[in-house]
Structure 1
Amino acid sequence: MTALVTQTDAAPSTTPDTPPASTQGDAPVGLFDAVTLRGQTFRNRLWVAPMCQYSAEEEDGVATDWHLVHLGSLARGGAGAVISEAASVTPDGRISPQDLGIWNDEQVEALKPITAFVRSQGSVPGIQLAHAGRKASTFRPWSEVQGSVPEAEGGWPTVAPSAIAFEGYAAPRELSRDEIAGLVEAFRAAARRSVEAGFGLIELHAAHGYLLHQFLSPLSNERTDDHGGSLENRARLLVDVVRVVRAEVGDDLPLLVRFSATDWAEGGWDEHETATVAAWCRDAGADLFDISTGGLVAGVTIPVGLGYQVPFAQHVRETAEVETGAVGLIVSAQQAQAVVAEGRADVVLMAREFLRDPHFPLRAAAELGVELDYWPEQYLRAPFRVS
């Protein structure tokens, strides 16, 4: 693994002999060691995971002041990267009518001041490109009703690899071969717009039961053509998307893929298939794999607990020999530090803890005894002190 390079006081090494990201010579890597992924340097390994806000301009997918303040505060709080919520590559791919989009130039213009502010705070702005498939056109979580939004109320028909509904949602229509080819082009165009909008990192959302995950899992993909059946066929759409996005953005921009490493269901997608496809995606141009779990089917039993998904990130990292990010109930500085120091993953992505404390990285550094030089000057009367 040579794509992710540890930054120390010495000049960074970019030779093939660069050690894995979990080592810094003989010393373990620290959470606040800077890293370089392709042409982008991140000031630390503590990144903000994508979190849907359901607050875009309705029907338009355009970012609002909420996104500027929300994402900007996370960058100001010291995160190495701030990855925005899932931005749909087509109008019918939004999870809800209030989700972000990246399918037109108006959306790009609204995102530019957000990415500029994130960069001004020393963080790298990232975007997650997505299509919700059969889980699109739903009410946002705090609505009085849940499930699919009727067309009369602003919803739309959904699509999927096969006409199999997610429990409690409207049945989707099976995509045609031409429509699948069109989706590859939509991701390519969205990647181009992401660069225009100022993002320094792109993540492809192939997790949580959304469209790319639906193609991967045999529980949601019953096709009999070259996009169904064998693992190679089920992974074809994702690998094609990785390949065209890499070609579109060039060699310098980091490209991530988010996987659900298991469906937690018998006969479903699992960590072994995840590792295999991660290696294929690496060969197609992906750099790091953000490992979550679940979301494809309802009613499964998930052994939720602190760091419960970290073993999956470690499995994919070691089996596929790729860089990974760990996510899922990582809630303390010591816990996050252990993940990278023990080589279980290369970066840590956190979500709910950032909602509770947008300045978590600044607090975590104090708890770990790390002095940072990127406290906001306006806040210099308030650095955390841990006695």
Structure 2
Amino acid sequence: MKSILFSSYTIKNVELKNRIVMGPMCMYSSHNEDGMVEDWHMTHYVSRAVGGVGLVMIEATAVTAQGRISPQDLGIWNDTQIEGLHKLVQQLHNNGAKTAIQLAHAGRKANVDGTIIAPSAIGFSDAYKTPSAMTIEDIKETVEAFKVAAERSKQAGFDIIELHGAHGYLINQFLSPLSNNRDDQYGGSAENRYRFLREIIEAVNEVWDGPLFVRVSATDHHPDGLTVEDYVTFCTWMKEQGVDLIDVSSGALVPAKIDVYPGYQITLAEKIRNESQIATGAVGLITTGIQAEEIVHNNRADLVFVARELLRDPYWPRTAAKELGVKIAPPIQYERGWV
């Protein structure tokens, strides 16, 4: 049987050597609180490229200093941050991986000094600050921040951009009625709650012509929140706007108990793929080659986003290939031990 997991995949103008994506995971390692790439980031990401990952996606990278998840987040809110990102991209390319960056704004989940902003003045929990409801000017400035971040991503040489619309961060907050009780053009109906993301996609498309992904939380895991059926609609709209792939996660908008088990989010990716007719990435406790192969072989998703398993095993593609009986080319330097 030919492995689909280890077959190439072309999306727009970018060809990935396999269907394995290193999912974005915050490292909280910009120790000077300046959002700059440090040695840790180089070691961490490049080792996964050496290990055979087809697409390495950089962690949530803040489009404004105010929008950081933590003060130690990577940033792309000023031009001085481009050089470090460019060097990282070069090293990833030199070691055989394509590159993506996840552009993010934490909204009410920002853990930084000063005022934080969100669609509405509703805190995530008692452990978080209550945000200020965004003015129309705040919204315009944030949309522009995503646009400028996309321009900087292009200058840094990234192959793919992903917008972080999941896990209870700002875009997700606008989409869900649990966190958005606005009564203007950005609240109320599904069309209005989608407007903020629509404007970000439009703005990014003005400066970016490469593949564009969006990560979503396809259910709020709350009886009054959004479901995958709502996201089928949103993802259809994203496809109409030129989004190329939906990275399908779930939860984290509000505190909720989630039943977690191997592949627990795959059915969400499958439903969006089939009903919105858009490419998807599956993520969530995907740990074995057999499991990953089943997902792509049965057209349940187009790409497999592996996260924590790649923290445990930087050479997980080799592990998966051995499990599937597939031979993959090692780095030349490792040929003598790649059996």
Q: Which residue of 2 aligns with 1:294?
A: 251
Contact (CA 8 Å) 1:263, 1:295: kept in 2 or not?
Answer: yes
Is 1:204 aligned with 2:178?
A: no
- Given candidates 241, 245, 252, the residue that maps to 2:204 is 245
Q: Which residue of 2 aligns with 1:280?
A: 237
Q: Structure 1 residues 306, 211: closer, same or farther in 2, change over 3 A?
A: same
Contact (CA 8 Å) 1:29, 1:340: kept in 2 or not?
Answer: no
SS of structure 1 residue aligned to 2:72: coil
Report how far residue 28 of structure 1 moved.
7.8
- Given candidates 154, 157, 164, the residue that maps to 2:115 is 157
1:343 and 1:128 mapped to 2: Cα distance?
Answer: 25
2:85 and 2:8 mapped to 1: Cα distance?
Answer: 26
Q: Which residue of 1 aligns with 2:224?
A: 267
Letter paired with 1:285: G
Q: Which residue of 1 aligns with 2:264?
A: 308
Q: Which residue of 2 aligns with 1:379?
A: 334
Report how far residue 372 of structure 1 moved.
1.7
Q: Which residue of 1 aligns with 2:314?
A: 358
Letter paired with 2:162: E
Is 1:72 aligned with 2:46?
A: yes
Q: Which residue of 2 aligns with 1:324?
A: 280
Q: Which residue of 1 aligns with 2:101?
A: 127
Is 1:100 aligned with 2:57?
A: no
Report how far residue 97 of structure 1 moved.
0.3
Higher percent of residues as helix: 2
TM-score between both structures, scaled by the size of structure 2: 0.98
SS of structure 1 residue aligned to 2:337: coil
Alignment of 1:329-348 (within 5 A): 329-348=285-304
Letter paired with 2:171: L
TM-score between both structures, scaled by the size of structure 1: 0.86
2:192 and 2:266 mapped to 1: Cα distance?
Answer: 28
Q: Which residue of 1 aligns with 2:150?
A: 191
Q: Which residue of 2 aligns with 1:368?
A: 324
1:329 and 1:118 mapped to 2: Cα distance?
Answer: 25
Contact (CA 8 Å) 2:57, 2:99: kept in 1 or not?
Answer: yes
1:29 and 1:192 mapped to 2: Cα distance?
Answer: 36
- Given candidates 171, 178, 181, the residue that maps to 2:130 is 171
Letter paired with 1:338: E
1:175 and 1:29 mapped to 2: Cα distance?
Answer: 48
Counting matched residue pairs gives 338
Report how far residue 77 of structure 1 moved.
0.6
Runs of 4+ in 1 over 3 A off after TM superposition: none
Contact (CA 8 Å) 2:61, 2:103: kept in 1 or not?
Answer: yes
Report how far residue 366 of structure 1 moved.
1.9
2:161 and 2:174 mapped to 1: Cα distance?
Answer: 20
SS of structure 1 residue aligned to 2:214: strand
Give a deviation string over 1:147-184, Cα, whole Å, max 9, x none.
xx5xxxxx222100000001120100000011101111
Give a deviation string over 1:285-330, Cα, whole Å, max 9, x none.
21000000001101x2211000000010001111101100000000
Give a deviation string over 1:28-72, Cα, whole Å, max 9, x none.
861001011111000000110000000014331111011011010
Contact (CA 8 Å) 1:28, 1:342: kept in 2 or not?
Answer: no
2:32 and 2:233 mapped to 1: Cα distance?
Answer: 39
Contact (CA 8 Å) 1:134, 1:210: kept in 2 or not?
Answer: yes
Q: Which runs of 5+ in 2 are unaligned?
A: none
1:382 and 1:128 mapped to 2: Cα distance?
Answer: 34
RMSD: 1.1
Q: Percent identity?
A: 48
Contact (CA 8 Å) 2:14, 2:211: kept in 1 or not?
Answer: yes
Q: Which runs of 5+ in 1 are unaligned?
A: 1-26, 138-148, 150-154
Give a deviation string over 1:106-132, Cα, whole Å, max 9, x none.
110111111000001110111000000
